[in-house]
Copies of this chain bind each other. A is one copy, B any other.
């Protein structure tokens, strides 16, 4: 029994290190590392290999990420910066596809709900040391330079997506259906402001090109039903009544549709409403500009992998948008 106690057994309350595995296996730490990492060019006899594997398993050894990263000079973390998780459907799909692609390359995708008020980016790097940062929204100049300082690579999603075109397509469709006075439902949520501005700009451009008046802007807050009714009233009270509305996205289009229903009216017959996204909930009755989530995701994945490999990204634009006509417009 005294013999047992003097043996360098498992240290209580401490992490199981590769050194523990080495001791218990009667081999060196180097050998353990070679075995655990399947290092090529290093021949280890099958017997020791099995012994090390079994011992590691038995002791429950898990290589400690910080030590690995310190030695390797890089972490396997890709950090996605997101302002808001409720972007919903498209975002979720993109992040899923991205994580699968990264997994094949030995990286892991972690998502951070980023807000400058909670914690400046500069405080993020001493806590996480990502190999690459994917920014899912816009970034300010100081934010971008902070990422540069952190030595993480950076991929921005903004710019990859033709938001203006989406706004244009909405107006073009409404125009083709005879609508000449168009409303625009702009989101109140500040976290989508940049995107929203682009879509609106596209709608405005299309109106100008088609020779119809600028869209009549109304702000709609997803968290406040009153704003929906206020918008409907404003459009109805316009000098020349609005007959068709572009909604920033399907969520807002759905709210407008619900608002109409609540008033005994109906989207499509009393007021044309068109959204953007083609979210599942919209698939009953909402006319929309569909975003091809998979194609969009592929572009981002391509961009991320290129950046990880220090390749220059070849911008292979694919068609991401498609009109889907349903009852609401």
Contact = CB atoms under 8 A, between A and B. Distances in A.
Contacts of A70: 64, 66-67, 70
A127 B65 contact: yes
A99 B113 contact: yes
A222 B281 contact: yes
A263 B69 CA distance: 59
Given A62-B150, A108-B128, A109-B113, A281 B261 contact: no
Q: How many copies does the complex hold?
A: 2
Main secondary structure of the interface of A (DSSP, over half): mixed
Given A15-B151, A108-B127, A91 B99 contact: no
Contacts of A261: 261, 266, 285
Interface string A89-101: 1011001100110
A60 B222 contact: no
A291 B280 CA distance: 22
Interface stretch (A39-47, A252-260, A308-316): A252-260
B62 A126 contact: yes
Interface in A207-259: 222-223, 225, 228, 251, 254-255, 258-259
A124 interface: yes
A149 B60 contact: yes
